[in-house]
Structure 1
Amino acid sequence: MAIKKRTIKGKPYYYLERNLRVGDTEWKTFSIYLGSKKPHAKQLHTLEKRLGSKINQYILDKILKTDTQFIDKETALLLERIKTSHKKILGALDKTSRANYLKRIRETFITNTNAIEGSRLTLEQTKKILELRDKYDVDDVEELEVVNMEHCLELYDELLEKKIELDEKIILRFHLLLLKTIPKYEAYAGIWRPVKVYIRGSKYDFPHWKRVPKLMSNLLAWYQNNKNKTHPVELAAKFHAKFVTIHPFADGNGRMARLLMNYIIQLNGFPFTDVSFSKRDEYFETQELAHFGNYKNFVLFLVQEIKAQFKDLKRKIKIQIFS
């Protein structure tokens, strides 16, 4: 913040101003009028709070969309600070450290997202498979799932760099890569399910397979209609929950939901957020509630994970382990 003096028709006018980035390339100057006399140093703290309130209100008006239900003002501001700080932290890392960090995020996500669905592979085993994937033919199902998710993430990065919006074609492309070469399920790769599905232990009866194309069309229409009305984190959580409630594929629905949720988050500048295997039970509980229209628990679950993982990133940066 800085005090600026402007002279108009020979008279001095003082303003407290701050330049702030409000988009990827957009900057905005915020100011409050101080009067015709420069304020004393003792007054600055109060004046800075006034300007800060004005900035916060602008940010809230910009980010807390009209149809947001479960993310309050304080949480929206915190998420915005996390988004901004995350970009600054990654931007401050040297090229090698940044690459190592992103690689670790990828390996951890692949390990956790497969483990949630029953894979027994550890993080170290996942890393080894990815390191050697081009050196031998992978035929074990759990190892194939690792390689296939890596292929999904390669497409993910390509689409995200171009800021391509989600549509049916993209979702089916992801799924084709996910189930490609998987025994018993390869025939279902990249198509809406032509069979009945169920989840052991769930009380929810998933829609008949003939309804899936229409339900997915409705979901994508809902996404397009709400992407500028709902906070992106809430939007991503609800999309995930609605997607899983449809269960549009014969296999891979959970992994697809977590991938697409992150795609929506990152399209809006928020950091990639993993669902840890250690949170599996809590995660499944939120999904069961969402099957019956209660999305609040999962929205708040996702918010907590974003906060916790950013806190962990700051700790790792502090002790500089990305080497």
Structure 2
Amino acid sequence: MDNYKPPFTITNEILSYVSSISEKIGCITAINSLEAKPHLRKNNRIKSIHASLKIEANSLSLGQVRDVINGKNVLGEQKEIQEIKNAYIAYDKISEINPYSIKDLKKFHGIMTKYVVEESGKFRRGEEGVFSGDQCIFMAPPAQFVPELMEDLFRWMQESKYSVHPLILSSVFHYEFVFIHPFSDGNGRMARLWHTAILTKWKPVFEYIPIESQIEKFQEEYYDAIAKCHVNGESTIFIEFILLQIDKVLDDISKQVSEDNEQLSEHIKKMLDVMEYDIPYTSKSLMEKLELKSKEGFRRNYLRPAIEMNLIHMTIPDKPHSRNQRYVKV
């Protein structure tokens, strides 16, 4: 179908989010902290993978996902472990994706679903529905129409990539992709991966921004927005929802990179550099990493200031002197 255009309306709310997101991305890029901090980049990627797979009912915890990626043995279903390995390979190559290529889409679906989906890297041949838990949100278009619908969508993206803002274009793609449901399995994972790939082509920093983790926090609202768009026959509500989530997650990223602020002492910067996100540390293990011997000096110059600035949280805040106390970089 020539000149196909997915139906949506540019609202004032959408324009407001685009402006806010662009401003926040500009600030984060100017600070350049994500590029300079491999631990932060890796942690955000792990969050993306864990959240995207959790939405699809993968039961492994964030810690288990991290262990799989780090090559450690993890007790769990082999299928779930393989899903993590596949996703890590796919996200690691995200900068290589041409998001306007159906050939690349099929290639990366093959990577994302290797060993776990029979029709890996191929459009579905059977009929499928979109589910939220056990509830069917809607039945996808018949399989015979999938190739043509995908050609229309990718043709529109190719023609519109210079006239439609990437934040809006990626959101429209996300919804239309979920609606078409082109694969027998892995559609949600691919929609979120491709959304990030489109934004990464616009601003490379998006490669390390865990949009998926924000969507996972509001999973019910995510499916609700999709369902409302199905009823309305256009994607405006979904665009507003997804841009709101991106705007929110950028606030978290801004907080993460704030540790580069010049008001931080060299002591605090050094401690934050040796800590990975979401990993609990004892004071002894932190002192060993920092090669310190004085407990009082560690508490006075490193630990207390970081806690007061909300850069580190205690796992047992009600009992600050507990022998089981751990400290987590947030």
Q: Residue in 2 aligned with 1:170?
A: 104
From 228, 237, 249, give the equivalent of 2:162: 228
From 59, 69, 85, give the equivalent of 2:10: 69
- Deviation of residue 232 (structure 1)? 1.1
Residue by residue over 1:42-95, the C-alpha shift from the partner in whole angstroms, topping out at 9 and shown as x without a partner, is xxxxxxxxxxxxxxxxxxxxxxxxx97135554333222122112122x24683
What 5-or-longer segments of structure 1 have no aligned partner?
1-66
What 5-or-longer segments of structure 2 have no aligned partner?
1-7, 260-268, 275-330
- Deviation of residue 316 (structure 1)? 2.3
Q: Residue in 1 aligned with 2:123?
A: 192
- The answer to which of 72-81 and 122-131 deviates more is 72-81
Q: Do the aligned partners of 2:9 and 2:236 also contact (CA within 8 Å) in 1?
A: no
C-alpha distance 124-209 of structure 1, shift in aligned 2 (>3 A): same
Alignment of 1:94-113 (within 5 A): 95=36, 98-113=37-52
* Match status 1:300 vs 2:240: yes
Q: Do the aligned partners of 1:245 and 1:290 also contact (CA within 8 Å) in 2?
A: no
Could you say what secondary structure the match of 2:107 adopts?
Answer: helix
Q: Residue in 1 aligned with 2:54?
A: 115
**Which one-letter code corresponds to 1:189 in the other structure?**
S
Measured in 2, the distance between the counterparts of 1:289 and 1:281 equals 12
C-alpha distance 110-93 of structure 1, shift in aligned 2 (>3 A): closer
Alignment of 1:82-161 (within 5 A): 82-89=24-31, 91-92=32-33, 95=36, 98-132=37-71, 140-159=78-97
Q: Do the aligned partners of 2:14 and 2:243 also contact (CA within 8 Å) in 1?
A: no
- The answer to which of 112-121 and 217-226 deviates more is 217-226
What TM-score does the superposition give when structure 2 sets the normalisation length? 0.68
* Match status 1:287 vs 2:226: yes
C-alpha distance 283-219 of structure 1, shift in aligned 2 (>3 A): same
RMSD between aligned residues: 2.4
C-alpha distance 322-224 of structure 1, shift in aligned 2 (>3 A): farther
Q: Do the aligned partners of 1:237 and 1:261 also contact (CA within 8 Å) in 2?
A: yes
- Deviation of residue 155 (structure 1)? 2.3
- Number of residues of Structure 1 aligned to a counterpart in Structure 2: 246
Q: Do the aligned partners of 1:202 and 1:288 also contact (CA within 8 Å) in 2?
A: no
From 184, 201, 205, give the equivalent of 2:139: 205
- Deviation of residue 139 (structure 1)? 7.1
Residue by residue over 1:14-65, the C-alpha shift from the partner in whole angstroms, topping out at 9 and shown as x without a partner, is xxxxxxxxxxxxxxxxxxxxxxxxxxxxxxxxxxxxxxxxxxxxxxxxxxxx
- Give identity over the alignment, percent: 24
Measured in 1, the distance between the counterparts of 2:251 and 2:80 equals 31
- Deviation of residue 306 (structure 1)? 1.8
Measured in 2, the distance between the counterparts of 1:150 and 1:275 equals 14
**Which one-letter code corresponds to 1:126 in the other structure?**
V
- Deviation of residue 246 (structure 1)? 0.4
- Bigger relative contact order, structure 1 or 2, given CA contacts below 8 A and separation 6+? 2
Q: Do the aligned partners of 2:123 and 2:182 also contact (CA within 8 Å) in 1?
A: yes
C-alpha distance 145-294 of structure 1, shift in aligned 2 (>3 A): same
Q: Which has the larger radius of gyration?
A: 1
What TM-score does the superposition give when structure 1 sets the normalisation length? 0.70
Q: Residue in 2 aligned with 1:28?
A: none
Could you say what secondary structure the match of 1:199 adopts?
Answer: strand
Q: Do the aligned partners of 2:14 and 2:239 also contact (CA within 8 Å) in 1?
A: no
Q: Do the aligned partners of 1:238 and 1:295 also contact (CA within 8 Å) in 2?
A: yes
From 211, 225, 232, give the equivalent of 1:274: 211
Measured in 2, the distance between the counterparts of 1:203 and 1:306 equals 24
C-alpha distance 93-247 of structure 1, shift in aligned 2 (>3 A): closer
C-alpha distance 291-123 of structure 1, shift in aligned 2 (>3 A): same
Measured in 1, the distance between the counterparts of 2:45 and 2:223 equals 22
Measured in 2, the distance between the counterparts of 1:77 and 1:177 equals 35
Q: Residue in 1 aligned with 2:195?
A: 261
- Deviation of residue 151 (structure 1)? 1.2
Could you say what secondary structure the match of 2:139 adopts?
Answer: coil
- Deviation of residue 318 (structure 1)? 2.8
**Which one-letter code corresponds to 2:258 in the other structure?**
K
